[in-house]
Amino acid sequence: MDLVFIEGLEIEALIGIYDWERRIRQPLRFDLEMAFDNRVPAASDDIADTLDYKAVSKRLIEFVEQSDFGLVETLAERCAAIVMEEFGVRWLRLKLGKPGAVRGARAVGVVIERGVREA
């Protein structure tokens, strides 16, 4: 199985459960690994045959910037669903980090895997 990845995608969002969090936009960091058979685009050398990581990034930026969730868990699930449904990804690992949310920690967040990872 091949992977297409996006690493360190930073997007600001309104997210959190505390009153002070509801008044500010906070930076979030996304890392994605997405299963995709890269043999077809490798043979054709045509972007139309790829999993276009720029298109995925733009779609997530659009969604996250407009979102308003309390929990990173909810946002991670919605982002995973978008990637799988709109881009035909059958398996992904998504890491969503919230830098600076806990004093002394570089970031906190969640890592989720969805779908079936094929060999």
Structure-token match 């309390």, residue found: 70
Q: How many CA atoms lie within 13 A of 71 on its CB side?
A: 5
Max intra-chain CA distance, the chain = 53
Exposure of 57 by Cβ count < 10 A (0-12 exposed, 13-18 middle, 19+ buried)?
middle
| Residue span of the structural domain in which 44 resides | 3-115
User: Is the whole model's pTM more than 0.85, yes or no?
Assistant: yes
CA distance 65 to 81: 16
Q: Is 98 a catalytic residue?
A: yes
Assess contact for 29 and 46: CB atoms under 8 A. Answer: no
- Domains held by the chain: number: 1
Q: What is the pLDDT along the chain (119 residues), one digit of tens a residue?
A: 899 999 999 999 999 888 888 899 999 999 999 999 999 999 999 999 999 999 999 999 999 999 999 999 999 999 999 999 999 999 999 999 999 888 898 999 999 999 988 76
Angle CA 21–105–83, to nearest 5: 65
CATH of the domain at 63: 3.30.1130.10
